[in-house]
Amino acid sequence: MGRVEGKVVVITGAARGQGRSHAVRLAEEGADIIAIDLCENIDIAEYPMGTAEDLEETARLVEKTGRRVVTRQVDVRDRAALETALAEGVAELGRIDVVIPNAGILPIGAGRPVTAFTETVDINLGGVLNTVHAAMPHTTERFSVIVIGSVTGLLPSPLDTTPAGPGFAGYRFAKKTLVNYVDSLAVQLAPSGSRVNAVHPTNVDTDMLFNDAVYRSFRPDLEAPTREDAEHGFHTIQPMPIAYVDTSDVTNAVVFLASDESRYVTGTHLKVDGGALAQKTL
């Protein structure tokens, strides 16, 4: 306990899933939280996004730990709105020590329009840049940025993404580009003692994975595949005997990178992938 005592952490996509997991655990470890989420559906995704009620529940769980929380409903594509939300959060909590741009979508599946690509890039790449850059004027001297990437972004060779459609192509493009962003920004910030790292999970047990579009992508041979039908395909991604990792597994890595335990760790790409990348590069 107390690994991030007194720090102020910004988290996008905080209403549920990984974002909520990070917020609650960091609060348990002593952090105050600025929790941001759109809390509206995004049509191209074709699965439900977090709601205002979900964001309120995240806030309730943070407050239950005894820490403070500021919530705002903001679209990460809107830099001006993010700047306003963060300024309001800082007015209440004092500063920003850790930035976790977590918000993202995965509109997977063939037959989707090119907007599945463009909207995914706008959120999964543009939203990360907007969040980090809007937060930086409020950060402390030695702050930590933790980008939530994906093992998909670390794969060394191009994939035939046609069956997965333009949304997956946009997802992979965004995650690969963020690898270079982390490397470059880490060098720029290193002289100040500030750090930039990324966590790259395999499939995670969130609504981004557990939805009909993903099930159809993994089991196109079935008219209406279920989660159980798709899980065999999930297992093939990792050599370890798992179909996916828990949100808490990703959060464990996030807490380390947010804490002073990692004070000299920067430009690092920490994989939480059950060996998926090692398997793909053999």
Catalytic positions, please? 171
Rounded to 5 degrees, what are φ and ψ at 208? -65, -30
Place of tokens 């969130």: 206
Q: Are 207 and 198 in contact (CB under 8 A)?
A: no
Rounded to 5 degrees, what are φ and ψ at 264? -110, 20
Helix (H, G, I), strand (E, B) or coil at 259: coil
**β 8-12/32-37 pair status:** parallel
Nearest C-alpha neighbor of 57 from the set 40, 77, 71: 71
Question: CB atoms < 10 A from the CB of 229, how many?
Answer: 15
Nearest C-alpha neighbor of 86 from the set 36, 122, 41: 36
Give CA 234 to chain center in angstroms.
19
Distance, CA of 7 to CA of 30 (rounded, Å): 7
Rounded to 5 degrees, what are φ and ψ at 88? -70, -40
200 burial via Cβ count (<10 Å: 0-12, 13-18, 19+): buried
Determine which helix (DSSP H) or strand (DSSP E) holds 143, and give its type and residue range.
Answer: strand 139-148
